[in-house]
Chain A
Amino acid sequence: AQKITQTQPGMFVQEKEAVTLDCTYDTSDPSYGLFWYKQPSSGEMIFLIYQGSYDQQNATEGRYSLNFQKARKSANLVISASQLGDSAMYFCAMREPGGFKTIFGAGTRLFVKA
């Protein structure tokens, strides 16, 4: 069965520094999609970035990049130049083969210090 693992319950980072949030996944299917979402304290889930399993390059969206290591089955999120507004929960997710079910990890809470 497919599984997403986020091993860091909480992370601290100094404002303006970069931070990496870890995510590993398990699937036996060669075709899948990986996602990261941000959940501020207000509760809404905000889509950040997507990586397809066949994409040759790592995905980037502004200050967010996804460090995709297919052989290691890892999809770490890198946030550059952290801002106070980045303080939130971050969830890694994987779209199951077939495309309609997405499973989520337990999340990592990021605290950005001034």
Chain B
Amino acid sequence: DGGITQSPKYLFRKEGQNVTLSCEQNLNHDAMYWYRQDPGQGLRLIYYSQIVNDFQKGDIAEGYSVSREKKESFPLTVTSAQKNPTAFYLCASSIGLPRGNTIYFGEGSWLTVV
């Protein structure tokens, strides 16, 4: 089945450590995104990528890094510079028009810093 796969579902990290969240899609979508969601709040854009080897910062990129070496993959690294990394992270991808660049999401990854 086509879809967006995020791993791991749950991740615990010690303070000062970097951690990488995986995101893979087999929908042949060009654009991919990473959002962060804090409890009871909406989604905030971290990074997005329109094509391979290109990505742009979103609204809260500080303390995060990404790469887009393959069309199918868009991993997110949460670095030790991110001051409050405990959150729910959602990866997404989008098709082109005429569906208006609807974003489709993976199931998310819960990151907890202990």
Q: Which positions in A face B, CB cutoff 8 Å?
A: 33, 35, 37, 42-47, 50, 52, 91, 93, 95, 99-107
Across the interface, name the chain A residue whose C-beta is closest to B6.
Answer: A44
B108 touches A43 (CB 8 A): yes
Please report the number of residue pairs spanning A and B whose Cβ atoms sit closer than 8 angstroms: 63
Which residue in B42, B100, B108 is a CB contact (below 8 Å) of A105? Answer: B42
B107 touches A44 (CB 8 A): yes
Does B34 reach chain A (CB closer than 8 Å)?
no
B41 touches A106 (CB 8 A): yes
Q: Which positions in B face A, CB cutoff 8 Å?
A: 31, 33, 35, 40-45, 48, 50, 58, 88, 90, 92, 94, 97, 99-108, 110
Please, how many angstroms separate the alpha-carbon atoms of A52 and B94 in the complex?
Answer: 16
A101 touches B41 (CB 8 A): no
Please, how many angstroms separate the alpha-carbon atoms of A93 and B33 in the complex?
Answer: 15
Report 24 cross-chain contacts, Cβ distance below 8 Å, ordered by A residue: A33-B100, A33-B101, A33-B102, A35-B100, A42-B107, A43-B108, A44-B105, A44-B106, A44-B107, A45-B43, A45-B105, A47-B102, A47-B103, A95-B101, A99-B97, A99-B101, A100-B31, A100-B50, A101-B48, A102-B45, A104-B35, A104-B43, A104-B44, A107-B42
